[in-house]
Structure 1
Amino acid sequence: MVYAHPLAAAATALGAAVALLSGPSVQASERPPGAVRTTPVVIAHRGASGYAPENTLAAADLADRMGFTWVETDVQRTSDGELVVVHDETLARTTDAEQRFPERAPWRVGDFTAAEIATLDAGGWFGPRWAGERVPTLRRYLSRVERNGQRLLLEIKRPELYPGIERDTLLTLDEEGWLDRSHTRRRLVVQSFGADSVRAVHRQRPDVVTGLLGNPAVAELPSYAAFTDQINPSHTRITADYVAAVRRLRGAHGKPLRVHVWTVNDAAGAQRAERFGVDGIITDRPDVVRDAVR
């Protein structure tokens, strides 16, 4: 069964031409107190996933061709210990695992070997143009992002399912040259919804910049600031006051906590996030966000 993606038609055009979108001017009164007027960093969510199949090398390459330095991706672990780049807990939505292995429901990532996952089509669901794209290993993804000169926001997905995945991820990053000073200072952030997972990364490699996904209560922010550098909530859950409260605190590396919001795919949402003073915007449609906030 081939799944049709609502944006697949746009993907058949080169990068899917998107019209320039404009919006209301930013008013200083709408910014958090003391906020400096800066343009948020635009982060390509799972690569340019509005126009290419998410978390594939093709999506990272497309983000690069569109001019975006930062890409976000997800990491999970196979049954034989390989780290792979995939978002969902199961392979059903973004691969042909259901057709290839009909007896293996519900097709959890952790129930398949790396060799089995390597045979799956991770692009055909998005559109015929992308048929044959594969689920990359983390090593292959790091190599491609490095070749492109891009920067990486890496999410450890569902860490409770994969005990020790923080250690495995850091080991792979180290072996692939991503834990030297130039990468840890400028090109890498490791994030997770799991506070214990973020804390484990910080404990094992204090030099790595970390992010906590979600929107903790303001009263709880100081406890998270001890081991993280970013608070990264859904864009629908933020206010200017919340962003200001986050940025008043200093994170694990002694700098003001930053805020990167997800997943903003329209001009109005991007401009709202910008008015609130966020540091970055994670988006499936990075071109739309860039045009809205620049």
Structure 2
Amino acid sequence: MHARAVAASTTALLGTAALLLPLSPARAADDGARPVIVAHRGASAYAPENTLAAVDKAAALGVDWVENDVQRTKDGELVVLHDDSLQRTTDVEEVFPDRAPWKVKDFTAAEIARLDAGSWFDPAYAGARVPTLEQFVHRVERYHQKLLLEIKNPQLYPGIERETLKVLSNEGWLDRRHVKHRLIVQSFSADSVRTVHDLKPAVKTGFLGTPPVADLPAYSGFSDQINPSHGSLSAAYVAAVQGFRGPHGKRMEVFTWTVNDAAAARRVAGFGVDGIITNTPDVVRDAVGG
């Protein structure tokens, strides 16, 4: 994940929301609850990010939650990749040297399937591929893990929310068991999060960012979580978020990112966060006992 400006349309969205009363009291930061540990793009400190190998590594470490990023190819396939360009994490420059700037949306699924998505990380992972969303959820299901799915760059892919939900439905991820306990859909775009909520109200949702406290009542109408960068967090902000009920009538949660060392993990755990998203889930788990 990268911090970025929220779309201008978010302002209009927030301006029309009804004010909700906060809960009282909020969850105390020192109530002893242990935060959920989420493997960011899989266990991406130890295996190439967003690959099946990263899911395997997270499972080997005993991590229940895996985070990923979803984008769309030229021919409409949903693939798991963080950047809107294939350049950083594949050998696309070698395979397709004349196709700069190598945007995901300009390549077919078959073309992307040819790319090596592992060698950039370590030669031991040569031949790893960019997985489709179907392949990724199959691997997560194999280990009975849970999925924090980010809809990436939705402004580049109109309709991707509906398409993502369709794939999840086809793969059995929108049944009661998954929706209630094993799936969260998030985005940096408030409009995208709102769209997911409108299309499938049962799905738990998260907004990536740190909206002002004054805007939290509006977000609570369509987002179950506010998920900020750990550098932007304070105990007071976490308590403010947790002082509201989300669209499912439960206390809003905070999953913070991307925390990769023990000291930072203990700091945000002390703030009372509900989840920690990390490239090093073993390090963070050992630090906070999650």
TM-score (normalised: structure 2): 0.90
Structure 2 CA distance for aligned equivalents of residues 33 and 45 of structure 1? 26
Q: Tell me, yes or no, if the aligned pair for 1:84 and 1:137 is still in contact at 8 Å.
A: yes
The 3-state SS of whatever aligns with 2:205 is strand
Give the Cα–Cα distance (whole angstroms) in 2 for the partners of residues 157 and 283 of structure 1.
18
Cα separation, 2, equivalents of 1:34 and 1:169:
35
Range 184-193 or range 98-107, more displaced: 98-107
Unaligned runs of at least 5 residues, structure 1: 1-30
Alignment of 1:61-210 (within 5 A): 61-210=56-205
Q: 1:130 to 1:205 in 2, by over 3 A?
A: same
Q: Does 1:58 align with 2:37?
A: no
Give the alignment partner of residue 266 of structure 1, picking from 255, 261, 269: 261
Distance 2:287 2:105 in 1: 39
The CA distance in 2 between the partners of 1:35 and 1:160, in whole Å, is 39
Say which SS state the counterpart of residue 98 (structure 2) adopts.
helix
Partner of 2:273: 278
Aligned counterpart, 2:250: 255
Displacement after TM superposition at 1:161 (Å):
0.3
What residue identity is the alignment partner of 1:238?
L
Q: Residues of 2 paired with 1:33 and 1:275: CA distance?
A: 10
Is the partner of 1:258 in helix, strand or coil?
coil
Question: Do 2:73 and 2:107's aligned partners in 1 also have CA atoms closer than 8 Å?
Answer: yes
Letter of the 2:105 counterpart? G
Which runs of 5 or more residues in structure 2 are unaligned?
1-25
Q: Is this contact kept in 2: 1:218–1:245, CA < 8 A?
A: yes
Alpha-carbon separation, structure 2, partners of 1:155 and 1:197: 10
Aligned residues of 2:27 and 2:242 also touching (Cα < 8 A): no
Give the count of matched residue pairs: 264
Q: Please give the residue correspondences for 1:236-255 in structure 2 after superposition, counting only pairs within 5 Å.
A: 236-255=231-250
Separation in structure 2 between the aligned mates of residue 151 and residue 251 of structure 1, nearest angstrom = 20
Report the equivalent of 2:42: 47
Q: Give per-residue Cα distances to partners, 1:239-276, cap 9 Å, x unaligned.
A: 00000000000001000000000000000100000000
Distance in 1 of aligned mates of 2:64 and 2:27: 27
Partner of 1:25: none
Shift of 1:36: 2.4
Q: C-alpha distance in 1, partners of 2:162/2:272?
A: 34
1:292 aligns with 2:287: yes
Q: How far did residue 148 of structure 1 move?
A: 1.0
- Residue pair 1:32, 1:240 contacting (<8 A) in 2 also: no
2:211 aligned to which of 198, 202, 216: 216
Identity %: 64
Quote the offset at 1:32 in angstroms: 7.1
Task: Tell me how far apart the structure 2 counterparts of residues 223 and 113 of structure 1 sit (CA, whole Å).
Answer: 38
Helix, strand or coil at the partner of 2:254: strand
Please say if residues 225 and 249 of structure 1, whose CA atoms lie closer than 8 Å, have aligned partners that are also in contact.
yes
Letter in 1 for 2:63: F
CA separation in 1, counterparts of 2:174 and 2:241?
27
Whole-Å Cα distance in 2 between the matches of residues 195 and 98 of structure 1? 34
> What is the deviation of 1:35?
5.4
- In 2, the alpha carbon distance for the partners of 1:274 and 1:37 equals 10
Residue 229 of structure 1 pairs with residue 224 of structure 2? yes
TM-score in terms of structure 1 length = 0.89
1:210 aligns to what SS in structure 2?
strand
| 2:187 partner amino acid | S
Contact 1:35/1:244 (<8 A) preserved: no
CA RMSD of aligned residues (A): 1.1
